[in-house]
């Protein structure tokens, strides 16, 4: 049996934004973090998370890629899903995603797993940000610290949470 999925990078935000599986993530946040290995996700649940992430990517203009007319194309990415201990449960690559972004997806997923907590999941759900971004948001809230970011969604979430943003 694979350990229960607790945290993922980017996918949590996409699942929350799209409303797919939000109830399940909310239940995890309310119950706290179960011990690794006590439950597992089904292949269908993993596929549902991947499908939600792909759907979100297909609706998100890329900040770096444009077509021949200079119009942004949709985001191409790799999607990594890990358990609380950082064990890889699934890795999905969207066609034409940059190979180097595999490392980015894995690093974000591992980081989110390392800093996950009931508070982080709750903040992520409340502000509809990824577990990775929720960890920064929760830390700033808990410590009363300002936040430095250029990510629009994280800036909006920080503003909604009353967190001061550092300006360049």
Model confidence pLDDT, tens digit, residues 115-153:
767 788 888 888 888 878 888 888 888 888 999 988 888
- Check if the beta carbon of residue 14 is closer than 8 Å to that of residue 53: yes
Residue 149 lies in a domain: no
Sequence-ordered list of residues with C-beta below 8 angstroms from that of 122, at least 6 positions apart, any chain:
29
SS3 string, the chain, reads CCCCEEEECCHHHHHHHHCCCHHHHHHHHHHCCCCCCCCCCCHHHHHHHHHHHHHHHCCCEEEEEECCCCCEEECCCEEEEEECCCCEEEEEECCCCCCCHHHHHHHHHHHHHHCCCHHHHHHHHHHCCCHHHHHHHHHHHHHCCCECCCCHHHHHHHHHCCCCECCC
- Check if the beta carbon of residue 13 is closer than 8 Å to that of residue 129: yes
Residue 153 lies in a domain: no
Residue 137 lies in a domain: no
Q: Residue 32 belongs to what domain range? A: 5-132
List phi, psi (to 5°) of 158.
Answer: -65, -45
pLDDT at 164 over 90: yes
Residue 128 lies in a domain: yes
* Span 60-75, pLDDT tens digits: 888 888 889 998 899 8
Residue 138 lies in a domain: no
* Span 36-95, pLDDT tens digits: 444 567 888 889 889 988 988 898 888 888 889 998 899 899 999 888 777 899 999 999
Sign of CA dihedral 118, 26, 45, 62: negative
Residue 148 lies in a domain: no
Identify the band that residue 159 occupies on the pLDDT scale cut at 50, 70 and 90.
very high
Number of domains in the chain: 1
Residue 65 lies in a domain: yes
Residue 34 lies in a domain: yes
Where does residue 128 fall: left (phi above 0), alpha (psi -120 to 50 degrees), or beta otherwise? left
């Amino acid at each position: 049996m694979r350990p229960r999925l607790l945290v993922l990078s980017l996918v949590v935000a996409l699942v929350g934004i799209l409303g797919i599986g939000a109830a399940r993530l909310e239940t995890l946040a309310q119950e706290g973090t179960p011990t690794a290995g006590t439950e597992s996700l089904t292949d269908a649940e993993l596929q549902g998370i991947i499908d939600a992430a792909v759907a979100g990517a297909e609706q998100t203009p890329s900040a770096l890629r444009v077509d021949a007319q200079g119009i942004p194309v949709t985001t191409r990415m790799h999607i990594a899903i890990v358990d609380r201990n950082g064990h890889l449960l699934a890795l999905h690559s969207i066609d034409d995603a940059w190979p180097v972004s595999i490392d980015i997806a894995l690093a974000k997923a591992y980081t989110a797993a390392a800093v996950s907590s009931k508070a982080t999941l709750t903040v992520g759900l409340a502000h509809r940000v990824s577990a990775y971004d929720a960890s920064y948001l929760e830390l700033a809230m808990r410590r009363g610290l300002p936040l430095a970011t250029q990510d629009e969604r994280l800036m909006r979430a920080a503003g909604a949470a009353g967190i001061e943003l550092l300006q360049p």
